[in-house]
Amino acid sequence: MSETVQIISPVDGKVFAERQMLDGDAIDRAVSRAKAVQRDWSMVPLGERVALVGKMVDALLAMNDAIVPELASQMGRPVRYGGERRGVEERSRHMLAIAGESLAPLMRPEKDGFVRYITREPLGVVLVIAPWNYPFLTAVNSIIPALAAGNVVLLKHASQTLLAGERFAEAARMAGPPEGVFQNLVMGHAETEKLVGSGLVDHISFTGSVEGGRRIERAAAGTFASLGLELGGKDPAYVRADADLDFAAENLVDGSFFNSGQSCCGVERIYVHADAYDGFVDRFVGQARSWTLGHPLDPATVIGPMARASFADHVRRQTEEAVRSGAGRHLNWAHERDKPGSPWLAPEVLTGVNHQMSLMREESFGPVVGIMKVADDEEAIGLMNDSPYGLTASIWTADLDAAGRIGAHIETGTVFANRCDYLDPALVWTGVKDTGRGGALSEIGYHNLTQPRSFHLRRV
């Protein structure tokens, strides 16, 4: 009999849902269905595919009232934020709107006697391995453009948020694409790696840890499947002397603590010019005091428990190490549930930090942030680059030309000025160094989910 997987709610430590994992035979049948229908799906006119995928998006958005409390129970995000509807709709609608332009043939300049152009062809079977922290937003980055481009999709969702995969499957059934075009698979790590290495998958889109990415790369070795990897992050912010400190503090508190700090592009370290340091820290700590820990099903709660106790304990260890090395705590909340072995972790702000502390160099993925004084732009750039990761970096300044100059020297996938923790679907979402490879969203997202084909036609 197949094994089962349980969703243990961080809210009360109880089993929220339990599902049976697919065995090898069931996975083989799913892949066979996908491969059997892929060519026919790719031959459906683009406009019809886009319309069908749009119906899938409509159906998913219509479920939001039920999805919001499910998310709170599965991974702890407070219901006050309304789930992920706004971002899902923005990204999905944009990617569908640009499908025609992004997938249109590229006509080459006229050459006497020849017709030359490049088309974008679907890769085939796309495996999306989605994470728990933003279980809908991260998944639509690949699912929507992959389907629109003529690929078929197999979704393997994180065990913490299995119900998100079921919601996608339900939306697909309601939209009505041919059977096998989209399938939700409940699999364990071993079966997932076996599928990745089978040679039956043409592209793998993985969002998760660096070690998880390495396992995917090892499993896919020799298959020639293409990979899209979004892995770890340690996103920095730099507050210049000319920044609007009230605005910067308010937005950076949100960027640091939203979703209990469990955001791919959440702010984990802040560097502040010496001339602005004291004023910024005072404002930041003042704003942070309103981010109090509470029950995620309470509409008044702004920050809930982390998804798992082990994640919270990792942040506790980093914080305690930094304090032992001389860092100062500014919040130091006393909450009855915030104790070792519990997913309930209150936000914390640390100063007196340095890059000998793991808090400032290694991923935290929790509600803690270190703030460090710097002398100038050059020192800020050096410290921002002193990390194995590179997803986003934000610069807070009244001088956008300076932001551009500084951003050109930062090793990162996205440079923000005066904002953070946001994905613009018109821009490619990508990372450098250990954060990963490939890119999602924008027309480049379509290019990474398709194969170019050249046509060189000679008149005789």
Domain segments of the chain: what residues?
A: 4-231+435-458, 235-425
Rounded Cα distance between 457 and 347, Å, is 63
Please tell me the predicted confidence (pLDDT) of residue 1. 53
Rounded Cα distance between 231 and 214, Å, is 10
Rounded Cα distance between 447 and 349, Å, is 41
Which residues of the chain carry a pLDDT beneath 50? none
pLDDT digits (tens, 9 = 90+) for 78-137: 999 999 999 999 999 999 999 999 999 999 999 999 999 999 999 999 999 999 999 999
pLDDT digits (tens, 9 = 90+) for 422-435: 999 999 999 999 99
Distance of CA 290 to the CA centre of its chain: 26
Domains 4-231+435-458 and 235-425 equal at CATH topology level: no
Q: Which residues are known to be catalytic?
A: 230, 264
Residues in Cβ contact with 225 at an 8 Å cutoff, skipping those fewer than 6 apart: 196, 199, 201, 202, 203, 204
Structure tokens at 235: 């996103």
Please tell me the predicted confidence (pLDDT) of residue 252. 98
What angle do the packed helices 85-97 and 46-62 form, to 10 degrees?
Answer: 170
Task: Give the CATH superfamily of 4-231+435-458.
Answer: Aldehyde Dehydrogenase; Chain A, domain 1 (3.40.605.10)
**What are phi and psi for residue 271, nearest 5 degrees?**
-115, 130
Q: Order of strands across the sheet with 414-417?
A: 328-329, 348-351, 368-374, 267-273, 235-239, 392-396, 414-417
Rounded Cα distance between 117 and 243, Å, is 48
Pick the CATH number of 235-425 from 3.40.50.720, 3.40.309.10, 3.40.50.850, 1.10.3720.10: 3.40.309.10
Calculate ∠ Cα 202-149-43, nearest 5°: 95
Please tell me the predicted confidence (pLDDT) of residue 454. 98
33 with 179: CB under 8 angstroms? yes
Rounded Cα distance between 120 and 375, Å, is 49
What are the beta bridge partners of residue 433? Answer: 389
Q: What is the pTM of this model?
A: 0.97
How many Å is the Cα radius of gyration of the chain? 23
| 103-135 burial: b if 16+ Cβ within 10 Å, else e | beeeeeeeeeeeeeeeebebbbbbbbbbbbbbb
Rounded Cα distance between 52 and 103, Å, is 17
